[in-house]
Structures are given as C-alpha cells and as structure tokens.
C-alpha cells in the first residue's frame, strides 16, 4: 500500500508558484517535438521529481501541462512506455469534438464536455492546430424516435449546448443534401480534430515550461522507498519509487496515473483500487470510397436508445477528408488488440474472472446478436446506413478495422468479398459475450 499516492496536495507549506516550494527542475526546458527526459545528463535510474505522471496520452499530457503552468517551481515528469507519445487511445478514436448533448444535466460529464469543447476550439486557434467545426445532425428516421429526439434536444438545452435547433426534413436537406429524416437536431458546435496532434502540442507546452518526458519507460512496480537513494542530498524527500521493466527507477513525492487501457492495473500497483475493471472492445468501421465522400458533409448520428450503451452506427468525417461509417464493437482479446487475431491469455483471463462482462452480456444478449450479425454480414450494416443516405450501396464501401475509433489500415477490401476469418472470429466473440458496447 502506498498511501502517499492518494493525495496530490499534502499538508506541507506552499511557496509562491508551487505546491511545496522551489524545488529544482530535473531538466531544463525542451523545445520542438517531445523528447526523452534528462537530456542534461541525469540517467533514469537516479532521476527524482516532485510529481510524476504515468501515461503519455492526451489525459496524462493535459494533466502535466496544467500542473506545470500552475506550479512552475515544481519538477514534473511524464513516463510513457512506448517510444512515441499518444499512440494508443489518443491516436485511436473517431476525432469528434462532442458538444455535450448526451449527458445527464448537471452531471460532471455534461459540464466538462460543454466547457471542454469551447476550450479545445480556443486552444486549437491559439496553436494553429487544424480542426473543422462541421456540425452534427442527430436524425430521426422512424416516428417512434421523435419523442426521444425531442427529449435529447431538451437535455442539450439544459446542458448549455449552444446553437441547438430542431429542424424538419427540408432543413435536413439544406445541411445534408443526401440525408433523409423526419426530424433532426442540428448541433453546429460539434467538430472534428486530430487528437494526437493536440496531445503532442500539450507535450511541447509542458516541455517548454520545464517539464520532462521519458519514453520507453514501462512501469511495472510502484512502492515506498525503504531508504534514500545512494549519495542523494534529498534524503527521504522522494518517498515513492517507480520502476520499469528494465530495472530503472524514478523517485518522486506524488504520482498521478493516467494509463489509459491499463489504468486499473497501474492503480492497483499504486496501492489504490483496481475497480472498475477495463474490458477492451474493438470498434469496427467501414470506409466510404473517396469518390463517394461528397455524400456526407458533417457528422450524421442516429437517435440513441438509452437502454443500450451505444450511440449507434453513424457517419463521421475525418480531418484527412475520408468518411467513416460505424462503429460496432467487438470484444478484443488483448487490451491493445488492434487486429482481429491479437491475443493475450492474461487479458482474456482478466476479462473472464475479474470483470462484469458476463452480466453485461446477459442483459444485452439480443442486442449483441444483432450487432454481431451486422458485423459479419456487411450488407446488413449498409441496409441500416441507407435509412439515412439511400444512395449508399455496398460497392461504395471499403472495410477497415478500428480500435476505440481509429483504424489500423488493412489492405482495402470490398465488402462484397466477405472474409470467412472475420465471420468465424465474430462468432467466437458472440459465443463468449453475446454483447457489444461502444467506447468513444
């Protein structure tokens, strides 16, 4: 147990500009792209920091940036297991800047989403990061969806989402000429961006302010120090020891863990709870052929059904001009299993023994069957998409495989060339879980 890890702010006196006073930084400011820490000569085995952030994704880098800008006298380090930053969830998502319409009014999610979208647009403008405020239509295509659509509209108003309006079929066609619907919510403040580019900009801000980034540092142990480091003048100031798989160690006073798909395991290492457990799902998208991208201008979403943890298959424009169609969600047999046949026995056992997946599968079995059917037989997915854009046909679509939103490109394959390997793998997933979920 490491009780010191539970608190970022201790009872020690605060000096101006810092939590604990003017400690020297581990390394000087860095410019340009993020680079490994301690370019001035300190090795990883002897480095010490006031605060260490575990995880070099967008959450960890945003936390590091915020801390060093508010407390510039502190020495702060970021540890990332990969050789580059932001290569997992940050680089594997749909890239949508959501407006905040979906969340329960007055909830923290609703407040953070609305405020965060506004701050993100402002930050991108300041830093010259490309984005598109292309808007979103949430479209009702059946009469029974209209009450849910109106309720969602009222929720968005309560959450303070700007610019919302209910529109009729003629206005739907003005926004999306090829889209059909009975009624829609127009969300003009929804946008798209490359979140990895945003994360790397956070890293640059952090390093220019004096922060340090250490890549290729995979944390596998966190413990309280039994004695001060050899020859250290700091004595027992840095009580927490973080070790990596190479036997190197970092010492610090406080730890913030932002480890993405491994958050539960790193939390457990730090002495905190591992609940809730993470269950990895891989989201499968289809790709609209480039010559057919004119069919979609902005985001087009269905009316969500609150009974299921899934927003439904939707149309997502990307910064590179491509259009994604999806996702469904298929249980992955490895936490970072970006390909259909990636497998980890440890991760599978963790899913079966420690998670609540079986309960989720039981509660959503029929829905899971439908989603798996659409995943295996792409014509079924296309038929669903045609409810919104009737002009889309099977020949207009390529298959791509995605994890939590962002694809790992395979050889482009026409959906008419159904692959039996996909079918067998999805059937195996169905037998194990009987359910799907969506993670954005």
Q: Which percentage of the chain shows pLDDT scores above 70?
A: 75
- pLDDT at residue 256 tops 80: yes
Where is pLDDT greater, at 287 or 312? Answer: 287
User: Which pLDDT does position 275 carry in this prediction?
Assistant: 84
The CA distance from 5 to 224, in Å, is 10
The stretch 219-231 carries a mean pLDDT of 79
- Residue 147: pLDDT band (50, 70, 90) is very high
Tell me the average pLDDT across 153-176.
Answer: 97
- Please report, rounded to a whole number, the percentage of residues in the chain having pLDDT higher than 90: 59
**Of the ranges 189-203, 225-239, 404-418, which one carries the lowest mean pLDDT score?**
404-418
CA distance 53 to 37: 13
Cα distances (Å, whole numbers) of residue 394 to 187, 289, 326: 29, 10, 14
What local confidence, expressed as pLDDT, does residue 46 receive? 47
pLDDT reported for residue 283: 81
pLDDT at 310: 66
pLDDT at 115: 96
Grade residue 174 by pLDDT with cuts at 50, 70 and 90: very high
Q: What is the DSSP string of 267-310?
A: HHHTTS--PSPP--EE--EEEE-GGGGGG-SSEEEEPPPTTSS-
Burial (CB < 10 A; 0-12, 13-18, 19+), residue 7, is exposed
Give the residue-averaged pLDDT of 148-154.
97
331-368: per-residue pLDDT in tens?
889 999 888 789 999 999 988 887 778 777 777 777 66
pLDDT in tens, 102-128: 999 999 999 999 999 999 999 999 999
Across the chain, mean pLDDT equals 80
Residue 342: φ, ψ to 5°: -65, 135
Q: How far apart are the first and last CA of the chain?
A: 33
Confidence of residue 25 (pLDDT cuts 50, 70, 90): very low
**Alpha carbon 263 to chain centroid distance?**
13
- State mean pLDDT over 170-197: 98
Average pLDDT on 143-171 reads: 97
Domains in the chain, start-ordered, CATH in brackets? 45-95+194-276+418-435 (3.50.50.60), 280-412 (no CATH)
**Mean local confidence (pLDDT), 131-159:** 97
Please check the confidence at residue 288 and state whether its pLDDT lies above 50: yes
Q: Looking at residue 414, what is its pLDDT?
A: 29
Q: Which long-range contacts does 272-277 make (Cβ < 8 Å, 24+ apart)? A: 272/5, 272/6, 274/354, 276/356, 277/350, 277/354, 277/355, 277/356
| Mean of pLDDT values over 74-80 | 97
User: Which pLDDT belongs to residue 363?
Assistant: 76
Q: According to the model, what pLDDT value does residue 378 have?
A: 81
- pLDDT above 80 for 321: yes
Where residue 158 falls among pLDDT bands split at 50, 70, 90?
very high
279-299 average pLDDT score: 92
pLDDT exceeds cutoff 50 at 28: no
Spatial CB neighbours of 201, under 8 Å, sequence gap ≥ 6: 123, 127, 129
Q: Could you read off the pLDDT of 369-417 as tens digits, one per residue?
A: 766 666 677 888 899 999 999 999 999 998 654 444 333 222 232 222 3
What's the pLDDT score for residue 23?
31
At 232, is the pLDDT very low, low, confident or very high (cuts 50, 70, 90)? low
Q: Kindly give the pairing relationship between strand 136-140 and strand 299-302.
A: parallel
Q: For residue 371, what pLDDT is reported?
A: 65
User: What's the whole-model pTM score?
Assistant: 0.80
């Amino acid at each position: 147990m490491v009780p010191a890890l539970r608190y970022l702010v201790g009872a020690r006196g605060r000096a101006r500009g810092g939590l604990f006073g003017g400690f020297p930084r581990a390394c000087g400011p860095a410019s340009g792209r993020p680079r490994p820490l301690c370019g001035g000569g300190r090795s990883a085995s002897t480095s010490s920091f006031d605060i260490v952030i575990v995880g070099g994704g967008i959450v960890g880098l945003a936390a590091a940036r915020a801390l060093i800008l508010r407390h510039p006298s502190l020495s702060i380090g970021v540890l990332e297991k990969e050789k580059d930053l932001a290569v997992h969830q940050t680089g594997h998502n749909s890239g949508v800047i959501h407006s905040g319409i979906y969340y329960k009014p007055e909830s923290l999610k609703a407040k953070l989403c609305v405020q965060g979208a506004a701050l993100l647009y402002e930050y991108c403008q300041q830093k010259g990061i490309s984005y598109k405020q292309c808007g979103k239509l949430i479209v009702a295509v059946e009469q029974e969806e209209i009450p849910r659509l109106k309720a969602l509209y009222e929720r968005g108003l309560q959450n303070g989402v700007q610019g919302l309006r209910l529109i009729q079929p003629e206005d739907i066609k003005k926004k999306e000429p090829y889209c059909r619907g009975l009624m829609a919510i127009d969300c003009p403040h929804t946008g798209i961006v490359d979140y990895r580019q945003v994360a790397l900009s956070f890293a640059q801000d952090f390093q220019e302010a004096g922060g340090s980034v250490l890549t290729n540092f995979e944390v596998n142990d966190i413990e309280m120090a039994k004695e001060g480091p050899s020859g250290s003048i700091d004595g027992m100031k840095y009580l927490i020891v973080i070790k990596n798989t190479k036997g190197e160690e970092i010492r610090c006073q406080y730890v913030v863990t932002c480890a993405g798909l491994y958050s539960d395991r790193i939390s457990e290492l730090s002495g905190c709870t591992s609940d809730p457990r993470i269950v990895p799902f891989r989201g499968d998208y289809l790709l609209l052929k480039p010559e057919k991208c004119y069919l979609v201008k902005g985001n087009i979403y269905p009316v969500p059904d609150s009974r299921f943890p899934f927003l439904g298959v939707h149309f997502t424009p990307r910064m590179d001009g491509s259009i994604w169609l999806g996702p469904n969600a298929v249980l992955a047999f490895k936490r970072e299993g970006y390909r259909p046949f990636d497998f980890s026995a440890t991760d599978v056992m963790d899913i079966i023994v420690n998670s609540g997946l079986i309960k989720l599968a039981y509660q959503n079995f029929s829905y899971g069957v439908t989603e798996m059917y659409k995943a295996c037989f792409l014509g079924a997915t296309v038929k669903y998409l045609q409810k919104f854009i009737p002009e889309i046909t099977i020949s207009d679509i390529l298959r791509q495989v995605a994890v939590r939103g962002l694809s790992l490109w395979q050889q482009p394959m026409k959906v008419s060339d159904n692959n039996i390997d996909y079918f067998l793998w999805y059937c195996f997933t169905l037998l194990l879980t009987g359910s799907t979920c969506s993670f954005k």
